[in-house]
Amino acid sequence: MTGHDHTHSHHDHDHHDDRWKHDGVRVIPGNQLDTNVPSTAGMDRAAAINFARVGAQKLWAGTVSIKPDAKTGAHHHGHLESVIYVVKGKARMRWGESLQFTAEAGPGDFIFVPPYVPHQEINASPDEVLECVLVRSDGEAVAINLDIEPVEKPETVLWVDPIHRDPSEKK
């Protein structure tokens, strides 16, 4: 006696195999992501997993890259939860009604953004692209750009070090 239960016919087996053939596991090559997604200034988003591409109902996943010394506009993602995984570079997050809170994350770190939280992603490196993987809790992308006056003017939050002077000093 083998470990197989043969109470179903071979014909059923074929049917089941076919059922998952085009509706089962999907591989989305990294060079075939969809860049036609809601955009936020300063940020390049690309969708890998969403409703339009693979029929995902409850998840959106893709990549985000932010150029050196760049930052996004303030935004939130409505009712969606977001998870950001930093692949490369140095991320600085600002959040709050006036973007008054800040935290940094590096490669291997995860960032969680709850629904409706106003936030801004910043590339805290002057010379390395910030590359992240992004996952959201719905198959449709939502990005609501906000007109927030930060607690300080954005130029004063730039990285001031011996090489990169504060732009407000350049008169």
Going by the DSSP 8-state scheme, the letter that residue 15 receives in this structure is H
pLDDT for the residue 25: 87
**Which sequence spans correspond to the domains of the chain?**
32-156
pLDDT interval class at 18 (50, 70, 90): confident
For domain 32-156, the CATH superfamily is Jelly Rolls (2.60.120.10)
Kindly report, residue by residue over 43-76, the tens digit of the pLDDT. 888 899 888 888 889 999 999 999 998 888 899 9
Average per-residue pLDDT in the chain?
81
Predicted pLDDT at 51: 86
Rounded CA-CA distance 15/124 in Å is 53
Mean pLDDT of 16-28: 81
Cβ-based burial of 28 (10 A; exposed 0-12, middle 13-18, buried ≥19): middle
Q: How far is CA 72 from CA 2, 101, 112, 141, 146, in A?
A: 60, 15, 17, 17, 11
Query: How far apart are the C-alpha atoms of 121 and 42, rounded to whole Å?
Result: 9
